[in-house]
């Protein structure tokens, strides 16, 4: 009978506080019960999803622990091949992949990548060893590892060109993980030494930095106008999604594609993070509205046309500053007229104080416009905000991504592929290589860091469960010990002493 894992609460000595336990059962029989040593408020536990609600402090970290335990349990409870060295490593890899997709411990997009790796391993074994099977015992021979590596370098490459060393390293890393799993759970008395798996891959593999746009390149993206008649709509949509991600706190591409209008509230956007199941709230900015106005023209006109300065309550100090400008009727002024006035006034040095007050007024007016705009969108029938996916395909599962089927994941994967293809065309026009749906997230992280925000604050913005992930985003460019700041400080001191 198959074992299953669940999570339950047990009472503590503190009223309303309970401890989370993991419980493994087989049928009606409890096999094992283990305390996670995590106490939460009872009302913050969702007994249906077995997750902690956002009201609980550190709920993201707690839910991450629960998810990790589920993945570990799913992996350890695969149908393990016995310790017989004649067992086929390819077949084991194949069964493990199938099982991880069935029990939901692996995302469909990851499953597709691993299937590509498995396909390459099969091709390598066939071409180099003239076999469709790879017994585990053969992996103890250095010659087998050498031939397998050589085959991976050549697999699925046109005109006989070799795969990049980094790609082969990643393929061998994944394959090694499955071999190590067999070592651990098969009961073999002679575990396979997997350290030689990288003997035939160049040690001088240059790590490729994640693409990060400069702030001036973000402005270039805002000003970009597609030219191709057949691709104008797809490129315009890709551009708007890209910029919306950047201004919405580095929102992940899959979360942006699954964004529905009911997540818009009058003063903030509240959305669920697909990767962790957590909930995040973020403020609105006029740039976010500009990314959406073409898809909601009626709501945009209804929000921006009636908006006048006369409808906003302003401080007396601000009003007195505005009266310093002669011949301007601020009461009936809208956003576009106000922007023109700011552009003219900012050119005058003796009106700098007025310019600052005008910018504050502009922000107040924008807040009013955004409040009306996003409320109108919220009040529409439920739908996905960006038209890359059809809400009808997700209407039964949109509120819980753990209910997603392989078909749902396939739809998301295809949408991301189309999006990245459009970004690649935009990048070619702008002279920027490597544009993908993940670039806004890396770009925002580095821009925050360059503007002296702490790693802790950047972690909160990106909703990383672990600060180590945030550091990876930043260390690639800035160094593990803030090398750039250290050297700049040294040269400032040195210059003063000369």
pLDDT in tens, the chain (498 residues): 567 889 999 999 888 899 999 998 887 888 889 999 899 999 999 888 888 988 888 888 888 888 878 766 765 565 555 567 788 899 999 988 888 877 767 777 788 889 999 999 999 999 999 988 999 999 999 999 999 999 998 876 655 677 788 889 989 999 999 999 888 888 888 899 999 999 998 866 566 678 899 999 999 999 999 987 888 999 999 999 999 999 999 999 999 999 999 999 888 999 988 877 778 899 999 999 999 999 999 999 999 999 888 888 888 877 777 777 777 777 888 888 888 888 888 888 777 888 888 888 899 999 999 999 999 999 999 999 999 999 999 988 887 777 788 788 889 989 999 999 999 999 999 999 999 999 999 999 999 998 888 888 998 898 887 888 888 888 666 665 566 667 777 777 776 665
Coil, helix or strand at residue 227: coil
Q: Which residues contact 447 (CB under 8 A, 6 or more apart)?
A: 215
CA count, 13 A, side-chain hemisphere, 86: 0
Nearest by Cα to 272 from 394, 116, 445:
394
pLDDT score, position 346: 84
Quote the radius of gyration of the chain (alpha carbons, Å).
28
CA count, 13 A, side-chain hemisphere, 257: 25
φ, ψ for residue 272 (rounded to 5)?
A: -100, 135
- pTM assigned to the model: 0.70
Q: How far is CA 104 from the centre of its chain?
A: 19
**Distance between CA atoms of residues 344 and 355, nearest Å:** 9
φ, ψ for residue 22 (rounded to 5)?
A: -95, 145
**Tokens coding 419:** 């999006």
**Distance between CA atoms of residues 71 and 107, nearest Å:** 11
**Distance between CA atoms of residues 84 and 180, nearest Å:** 15
The DSSP 8-state label assigned to residue 260 in this structure reads: B
DSSP assignment of 127-188 equals HHHS-S--BGGGGG-HHHHHHHHHHHHHTT-GGGPPPPHHHHHHHHHHHHHHHHHHHHHS--
pLDDT score, position 78: 53
Place of tokens 């402005």: 219
Beta-strand pair 17-26/3-11: antiparallel
Number of CB atoms found within 10 A of residue 126's CB = 16
Domain range annotation of the chain: 3-76, 89-198
Instruction: Tell me the C-alpha to C-alpha distance, in Å, between residue 177 and each of 70, 82, 207, 270, 444.
Output: 18, 17, 21, 37, 33
pLDDT score, position 19: 94
Number of CB atoms found within 10 A of residue 241's CB = 24
């Amino acid at each position: 009978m198959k074992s299953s894992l669940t999570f339950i609460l047990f009472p503590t000595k503190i009223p309303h506080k309970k401890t989370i336990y993991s419980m493994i059962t087989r049928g009606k029989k409890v096999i094992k019960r283990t305390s996670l040593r995590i106490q939460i408020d009872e009302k913050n536990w969702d007994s249906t999803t077995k997750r902690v609600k956002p009201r609980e402090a550190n709920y993201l970290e707690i839910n991450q622990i629960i998810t990790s335990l589920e993945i570990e349990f799913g992996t350890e409870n695969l149908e393990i091949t016995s310790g017989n060295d004649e067992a086929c490593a390819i077949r084991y890899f194949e069964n493990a992949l199938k099982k991880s997709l069935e029990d939901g411990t692996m995302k469909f997009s990851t499953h597709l990548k691993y299937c590509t790796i498995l396909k390459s391993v099969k091709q390598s074994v066939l071409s180099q060893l003239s076999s469709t099977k790879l017994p585990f015992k053969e992996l103890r021979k250095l010659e087998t590892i050498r031939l397998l590596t050589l085959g991976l370098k050549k697999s699925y490459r046109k005109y006989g060109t070799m795969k990049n060393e980094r790609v082969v390293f990643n393929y061998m890393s994944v394959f090694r993980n499955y071999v190590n799993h067999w070592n651990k759970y098969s009961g073999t008395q002679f575990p396979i030494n997997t350290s030689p798996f990288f003997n035939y891959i160049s040690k001088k593999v240059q790590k490729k930095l994640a693409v990060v746009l400069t702030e001036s390149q973000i402005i270039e993206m805002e000003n970009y106008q597609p030219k191709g008649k057949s691709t104008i709509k797809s490129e315009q949509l890709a551009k708007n999604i890209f910029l919306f991600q950047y201004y919405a706190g580095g929102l992940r591409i899959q979360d942006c594609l699954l964004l529905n209008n009911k997540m818009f509230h009058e003063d903030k956007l509240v959305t669920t993070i697909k990767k962790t199941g957590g909930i995040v709230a973020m403020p609105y900015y006029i740039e976010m509205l500009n990314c959406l106005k073409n898809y909601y023209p009626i709501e945009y006109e209804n929000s921006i046309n009636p908006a006048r300065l006369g409808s906003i309550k302003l401080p007396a100090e601000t009003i007195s500053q505005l009266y310093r400008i002669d011949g301007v009727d601020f009461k009936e002024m809208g956003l576009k007229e106000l922007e023109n006035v700011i552009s003219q006034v900012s050119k005058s040095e003796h009106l700098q104080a007025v310019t600052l007050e005008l910018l504050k007024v502009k922000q107040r007016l924008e807040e009013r416009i955004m409040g009306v705009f996003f409320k109108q969108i919220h009040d529409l029938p439920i739908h996905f905000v960006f038209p890359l996916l059809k809400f009808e395909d997700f209407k039964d599962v949109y509120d819980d991504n753990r209910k997603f089927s392989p078909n749902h994941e396939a739809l998301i994967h295809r949408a991301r592929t189309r999006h990245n293809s459009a970004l690649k065309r935009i990048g070619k026009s702008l002279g920027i290589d490597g544009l993908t749906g993940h670039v806004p997230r890396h770009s925002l992280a580095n821009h925050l860091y360059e503007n002296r925000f702490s790693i802790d604050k950047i972690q909160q913005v990106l909703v990383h469960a672990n600060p180590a992930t945030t550091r990876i985003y930043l260390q690639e460019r800035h160094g593990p010990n803030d090398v750039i700041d250290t050297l700049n400080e040294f040269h400032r001191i040195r210059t003063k002493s000369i």
